[in-house]
Homo-oligomer: A and B are copies of this chain.
Amino acid sequence: MSDSTTNTLNTWVEVSKNSDFTIYNLPFGVFKNKRLSPRTGIAIGDKIVDLSVLDQEGFFSDMFLPEGIFLNESLNKLISLGKVQTKKIRERVQNLLLADNEKLRDHSARGKVMVNRKEAEMLLPVEIGDYTDFYSSMEHATNVGKIFRDPENALLPNWKHMPVGYHGRSSSIIPSGTPIYRPKGQFKTPEMDLPGFGPSKKLDFELEVAFITGKSTKQGDSVSTADAEDYIFGFVLFNDWSARDIQAWEYVPLGPFLGKNFASSISPWVVTLEALEHFKVGGPVQEPEVLPYLRCEESHSFDINLEVYIQPDGKKASKVSSSNYKNMYWNVAQQLAHQTINGCNINVGDMMSSGTISGEESGSYGSMLELSWNGKEKIKLEEGEERAFIEDGDTVIMKGFAEKDGVRIGFGEVKTKVLPAK
């Protein structure tokens, strides 16, 4: 299909000029509404293509799909069919949506197939097995090193030799729209003799992009950087909530735990790797040279604009960060090769995230920790508001989109309101 070309595609669906969900995108998600039980959809404009109805109407009859494959509560079984099948399904839908294709456009079931996005509740798209959080933006790792450790030796010695990462909590990954409670926990600043306890005073977002794996490996096997993209189904925006005061006190020597695992929010539409092909860009020069298992023949970096907004309760949203997914020292192929080089097995539906994506300028930092430099400089918002960290009642919104040669695709948003501690 047209994913890596700039051929103009027109669709009979009304799609506004700034829609993230163009005919070039067609991300997969799981939705339900008042009438419909959970099912697989593909987003276009303000509509969702209900794949289960398309299937019932025989539009996939030549593909011999398992019965009810689009009526599951997650995409895992669909993704498990393999990329050959999921690509075919997406291409079939793209074809059916083309302006001059009358098969669905003029079909009597069209009204049943096309569901209003506004009336749908989006569910967690994937049952996530294991979740890994990398730390792959050099600017972020440097900023955190300066704030939490030593400004003179901010980047630790291993950082340029491997995509440093750690395992996070899967149970608390929630879809956009689900509010979170401010976490409670221990904290201790150098001035305190004993640790204190209470609701976090330094609740923060982390602007990240995560990929969902689409293929499994066996224990003992590794995935090469050359093969890595075969194992990547698609991408979501990821807000990896953090409590900086809890994190700072707990994280030595085993890494972040309660400072992170209370909640992580993802955008509900999984944008496929195929849709993002067109937005590949060259990656950074890696100096010193990396070990052979981390070297790449091809580019695996993507030019995706990322934005963060804070919306205080009852007020306007203010943009607080503009970053880009290409601001990554380590790419997705290197992350996957590293994750599996020791024989660690992956399953369909694992999630691996970028870590906070910060650019070089202060307006491109991907967390309040960096934007306010650990609370030292408050960020000005609209309507006279200002923030060092996230306050109760605030909604944090992340957006992501790519534009090139008149083609636009986007992630929609991940939007989360913070409720007071329980």
Chain B residues with CB below 8 A from A156, complex form: 252-253
In A148-183, the 8 Å CB interface with B consists of: 148-149, 156-158, 161-162, 164-172, 174, 180-181, 183
> A162 to chain B: which residues have CB within 8 Å?
186, 195, 250
Query: Which B residues are in CB contact (< 8 Å) with A171?
Result: 129-130, 344-347, 350
When C-beta atoms are compared, the residue in chain B nearest to A243 turns out to be B342
Give Cα distance in the complex from A263 to B149, angstroms: 32
Cβ A261 vs Cβ B342 within 8 A:
yes
Contact call A258/B186, Cβ cutoff below 8 A: no
Q: Is A341 an interface residue (CB 8 A)?
A: yes
Is A288 on the interface with B (CB-CB < 8 A)? Answer: yes
A258 touches B338 (CB 8 A): yes
Instruction: Type the 1/0 row for A339-356, where 1 means its CB is closer than 8 Å to any CB of B.
Output: 101111111001000000
- Cβ–Cβ < 8 Å partners of A255 in chain B: 166, 251, 253-256
Out of B168, B220, B288, B347, name the residue touching A422 (CB < 8 Å).
Answer: B220
- Partner among B149, B251, B339, B422 whose Cβ is within 8 Å of the Cβ of A221: B422
Question: Bound state CA distance, A256 and B344, in angstroms?
Answer: 13
Q: A249-B158, A288-B194 are known contacts. Are A184 and B343 too (CB-CB below 8 A)?
A: yes
Q: Contact string, A106-138, partner B, CB cutoff 8 A, digits 1/0?
A: 000000000000000000000001101101000
A12 interfacial by beta-carbon distance below 8 Å: no
The residue in chain B whose Cβ has the minimal distance to the Cβ of A181 is: B220
Partner of A258 from B169, B253, B292, B341 at Cβ < 8 Å: B341
Copies of this protein, total: 2
Closest Cβ of chain B to A309, distance in Å, is: 23
* A188→B157 CA distance, assembly (Å): 10
Contact, CB under 8 Å: B183 / A343:
yes
With a cutoff of 8 Å between Cβ atoms, the chain B residues found around residue A249 in the complex are 158
Among B169, B197, B291, B342, the residue within 8 A (CB) of A195 is B291
In contact, B258 and A344 (Cβ under 8 angstroms):
yes
Q: What's the nearest-Cβ distance from chain B to residue A153, in Å? A: 11
Q: Which of B135, B197, B342 contacts A254 (CB 8 A)?
A: B135
The answer, among B149, B167, B292, B346, for a CB contact under 8 Å with A253, is: B149
Please tell me if A262 contacts chain B, counting CB pairs below 8 Å: yes
Name the one of B135, B167, B257, B291 contacting A186, with C-beta atoms under 8 angstroms: B291
Instruction: Report whether B344 and A172 are in contact in the complex, using a CB–CB cutoff of 8 Å.
Output: yes
A258-289 residues with Cβ-Cβ distance < 8 A to B are: 258, 261-263, 288
A157 to B248 Cα, complex, angstroms: 12
A185/B341 in contact, CB under 8 A: yes
A219: Cβ under 8 A from any B Cβ: yes
> Given contacts A167-B167, A167-B169, are A258 and B342 in contact (CB under 8 A)?
yes
* Chain B residues, CB < 8 A from A220: 180-181, 419, 422
Taking a contact as CB atoms under 8 Å apart, the answer to whether A158 and B288 are in contact is no
A168, B195: Cα distance in complex, Å: 26
The 0/1 profile, CB within 8 Å of B marked 1, for residues 302-323 of chain A is 0000000000000000000000
Which B residues touch A166, using CB under 8 A? 166-167, 254-257
User: Once bound together, how far apart are the Cα atoms of A171 and B350, in whole Å?
Assistant: 9
8 Å CB contact of A180 from B135, B174, B219, B251? B219
Complex interface: chain B residues within 8 A of A135 (CB)? 254
Known: A162-B250, A254-B135. A344 touches B169 (CB 8 A): yes
- Closest 3 interchain pairs by CB? A255-B255, A183-B342, A181-B220
**A–B pairs, 21, beta carbons within 8 Å:** A145-B253, A156-B252, A161-B186, A161-B195, A171-B345, A171-B350, A172-B219, A180-B219, A181-B343, A183-B342, A183-B343, A184-B342, A185-B341, A186-B291, A251-B253, A253-B255, A255-B255, A258-B338, A258-B342, A258-B344, A343-B421
